[in-house]
Structures are given as C-alpha cells and as structure tokens.
C-alpha cells in the first residue's frame, strides 16, 4: 500500500459518465464540482425511480437541489466542514421537500422518487450522504470497499444467504431484491446514511459513486477493472467500467451513471470530465486476484421514521 500523502499533497482527477443502457429514457443524473485549486469538491449522483412517474425529473430535482446547497456553502469551506453533518442532512431534507412540492403542483407526477449518493471532500477528508441503493465504493491497494449503506432488501437477502437460510440462486432471484427501504419521494425518509466524521484518503485511492446499473458487474469484476486501470486517468477508468458493463450484454441493462474520483499527488487539479463514449479496456492484469472486502465504514445513520410501505424500484 502506498504511504498516505499529507492533505496538501492530494489533487483529484474527476470524471463523470452516463449510459442509457437498454432503457428508453435516462433517469439518472450526475454532477461534480472540483474547481481548480479549490480546498474542497463534491459530486452528486441520483437515480430516478424506474417504473414510477417522472423518475428523470425526480433525479434532476435531487441533484440540482443538493448541488445548489453545497455550492452555495462552499464559499466558506472551513465553516461548511465544521457543520458538515447538519449541512448534509438539511440538504437532503430540502431535496425531499422539493420533490413533495413538485408532486403537489403536478398530480400526474405522484409516486416519483430518487436515490442519492453525494461524496464531499475537503483536502483529503472524505464525507458523504446517501439514501437508497446507489453505491459508493473505495478502491485502495487492490481491495474494493463498499462505503455507504445499501437501503434495499438486497442487503437483508444477502444476509439470509450468508446465514444459510436461502441458497445463492434464491438470493440472486428474490422478487424483492431491488425493492428499496429508503428513498427520496416527498414523504418521511426512512434512513439517511451520513458520514459526518472524516475518512482520510490516500494517493492512489479511487472513489467511485454509481447508480445501481453498475450492479450488472459483480464486485469482483469492478475491482478487476479498477486494478487494471489503476494508473489510468479518471476518464479512462470510467470508460473502462462502461465498456465492461456493455460487454455483459444484459438485455435489460438499467441506466448507469458514474463519478470517478481519483486521488493523486498534488499536481494540477482537474475539472470533472464528461465521458462521451467508452474506449476498449486494456488486457486484464495477470497479477494476483483482487480481494473483495465489503467492510462498511459507517458514519452517522439517522432513522427519521420507518416506512410502512415497500418502495419498489
């Protein structure tokens, strides 16, 4: 593992990507803001509720509201970081309120909703807030870590499998696997995963935020792609992930959105770069097999109120 760089030594190569998959419309939204030389940066990714009314509108509302709130406060980064827990919680509540207001003004949009994952970085200190099942990963020294909570029944079903209550086939094909237990839909939010204590990043780390369209790839395959492209640019890493997903040939491929944040020794900080088209990935590494570690680095998780209904996705 590389030695940790000091806070002043890190810069970030950031790239975003969107893929329609096999869907008729894009319901994901992803934005990132890492200004040149700024002391902080952030990304916001939201996945509109598939099968619900106006999922693309919902994800747009969530991403726009979070981005606006964080951008407004980023002018005073030290104060923002001191209050990062309340800042992130209030931004989530504001986004949820905007969805509620939109539904009230547009009855045809009733039932809309979206997930959220938003990593925020000050220097080398990583925080995040998430609602739903959009994953936030950390790749470090050959291992892939899921950082945020999975607010879907998939996590509970996998636990049942681990305990021997159901077999692997039942777990992967369970009808409730993709149902969400927490989402931004204008009502009370069941769970918010808010990391209000910093995680220190190191040079060579790759932070990956994604919509659940990435789950077409097993975690082991995601780790292999990151391993094979550890020295590539953020744009090349994102393109390689899109290529790997496309290579699976899934006939029902969901929308996919990505934000790749690659920590590097300080040089020239790069702005977020949209990825227009995937490029062929280089041959897979013949080195040792990457070990997958699903260890959760949990932050402050607040349960506001439990949902009494299942939110399908």
Domain boundaries, the chain: 7-302
Q: Give 8's Cβ-side CA count (13 Å radius).
A: 0
pLDDT over 70 at 34, yes or no: yes
pLDDT of 296 reads 34
Q: In percent, how much of the chain has pLDDT > 90?
A: 67
Cα–Cα nearest to 245, from 236, 254, 232, 233: 254
DSSP class of residue 214?
Answer: G
pLDDT over 70 at 12, yes or no: yes
Q: What is the CATH number of domain 7-302?
A: 3.60.40.10
Residues in CB range of 264: below 8 A, 6 or more apart: 10, 11, 12, 13, 203, 204
Burial of 70 (0-12, 13-18, 19+ CB in 10 A): buried
pLDDT of 275 reads 53
Please give the Cα distance from 228 to 211 (Å, whole number).
22
pLDDT of 36 reads 83
Mean pLDDT of 241-258: 96
Structure tokens at 299: 């932050």
From 87-96, 171-180, 244-253, the region with the lowest mean pLDDT: 171-180
Largest CA-CA distance found in the chain, in angstroms, rounded: 57
Cα–Cα nearest to 67, from 116, 7, 139, 13: 116
pLDDT of 259 reads 98
Beta bridge partners of 85: none
> Tokens 């496309």 sit at which residue?
246
Alpha-carbon distance values, 58 to 17, 61, 75, 101 (Å):
19, 5, 27, 11
DSSP class of residue 105?
Answer: H
First to last CA, the chain: 39
Alpha-helical segments (H) within the chain: 55-73, 77-82, 84-105, 153-162, 168-172, 219-228, 234-247
Predicted TM-score (pTM) of the model is 0.81
* Backbone φ and ψ of 110, nearest 5°: -55, 130
pLDDT of 273 reads 57
pLDDT over 60 at 122, yes or no: yes
pLDDT over 90 at 38, yes or no: no
251 band by pLDDT with thresholds 50, 70 and 90: very high
195 band by pLDDT with thresholds 50, 70 and 90: very high
Residues in CB range of 271: below 8 A, 6 or more apart: 14, 34, 35, 36
DSSP for 129-151, please give it: EEESS--EEEEETTEEEE-S---
Structure tokens at 94: 């504001």
- Coil, strand or helix at 7: helix
């Amino acid at each position: 593992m590389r030695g940790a760089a000091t806070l002043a030594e890190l810069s970030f190569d950031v790239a975003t990507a969107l893929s329609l998959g096999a869907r008729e419309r894009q319901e994901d939204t992803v934005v990132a803001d890492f200004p040149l030389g700024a002391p902080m940066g952030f990304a916001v990714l939201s996945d509109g509720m598939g099968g619900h009314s106006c999922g693309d509108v919902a994800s747009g509302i969530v991403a726009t509201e979070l981005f606006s709130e964080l951008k407004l406060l980023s002018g005073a980064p030290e104060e923002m970081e001191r209050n990062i827990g309340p800042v992130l919680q209030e931004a989530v509540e504001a986004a949820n309120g905007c969805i509620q207001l939109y539904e009230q003004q547009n009855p045809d949009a009733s039932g809309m909703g979206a997930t959220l994952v938003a990593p925020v970085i000050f220097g080398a200190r990583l925080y995040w807030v998430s609602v739903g099942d959009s994953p936030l990963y950390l790749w470090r020294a050959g291992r892939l870590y899921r950082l945020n909570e999975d607010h879907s029944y998939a996590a509970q079903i996998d636990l049942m499998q681990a305990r021997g209550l159901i077999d692997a086939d039942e777990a992967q094909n369970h009808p409730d696997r993709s149902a969400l237990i927490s989402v931004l839909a204008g009502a009370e939010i069941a769970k918010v995963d808010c990391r209000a204590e910093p995680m220190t990043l190191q040079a060579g780390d790759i932070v990956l935020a994604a919509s659940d369209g990435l789950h077409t790839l097993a975690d082991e395959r995601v780790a292999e792609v990151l391993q094979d492209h550890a020295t590539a640019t953020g744009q090349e890493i994102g393109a390689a992930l899109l290529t790997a997903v496309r290579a699976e040939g899934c006939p029902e491929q969901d929308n996919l959105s990505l934000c790749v944040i690659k920590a590097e020794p300080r040089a020239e900080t790069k702005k977020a770069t949209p990825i227009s088209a995937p490029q062929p990935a280089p041959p897979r590494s013949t080195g040792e097999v990457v070990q997958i570690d699903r260890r959760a680095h949990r932050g402050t998780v607040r349960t506001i109120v439990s949902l009494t209904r299942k939110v399908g996705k």
